[in-house]
Amino acid sequence: MKLTDWRGNEYGVGDIILYPRISGRSCEISEATVVDIWETYRGDRGWKRLAEGEPVPEKEYWNYAEGAYERRPAATEIRVKVQPNGRGSRQFYRTDYDYKRTPEGSYERVETGIKPVTLNIIENITAVTA
């Protein structure tokens, strides 16, 4: 699946993008590689992934004007999974970590490398073009 950024540039899996990242009150622009793009809809028990080309299932919604239930396609969202490369506009050190138990019984912080991130607000993505 290919998407178009706010400047009109296409991007897809394998392309490099820039996206905003916020930590507390600090915002920066981060660079990442697109890993996956998919469409999802709200099912009865959470978000469900749609296979490419699969039609959106219908759901029952209450129509307040009519005072009755009606069936219509479920609302959908597009998600973009990216692998951050650690580069950012404000040089915040970006890493993920876990705590492992030591033989003495205490815990030690261990870096695990940067984990992939799933973006569901994709309107601010900027494709990096050569």
What range does the domain containing 104 cover? Answer: 3-39+79-127
Residue 101 falls inside a structural domain? yes
Pick the more confident residue, 19 or 53: 19
pLDDT tens-digit profile of 6-36? Answer: 999 999 999 999 999 887 888 889 999 999 9
Residue 26 falls inside a structural domain? yes
Residue keyed to tokens 């959106």: 56
Amino acid, res. 52: E
The DSSP element (H or E) to which 63 belongs, if any, is strand 58-63
Q: Cα–Cα distance between 107 and 104 in angstroms, integer?
A: 9
Residue 72 falls inside a structural domain? no
Residue 66 falls inside a structural domain? no
The domain total for the chain is: 1
pLDDT tens-digit profile of 75-109? Answer: 899 999 999 988 888 876 667 788 999 999 999 99
Cβ-proximal residues to 67 (8 Å cutoff; 6+ apart), any chain: none
Residue whose C-alpha is closest to residue 15's, from 29, 3, 27: 3
Report pLDDT for 130: 66
Amino acid, res. 62: W
The DSSP element (H or E) to which 81 belongs, if any, is strand 76-88
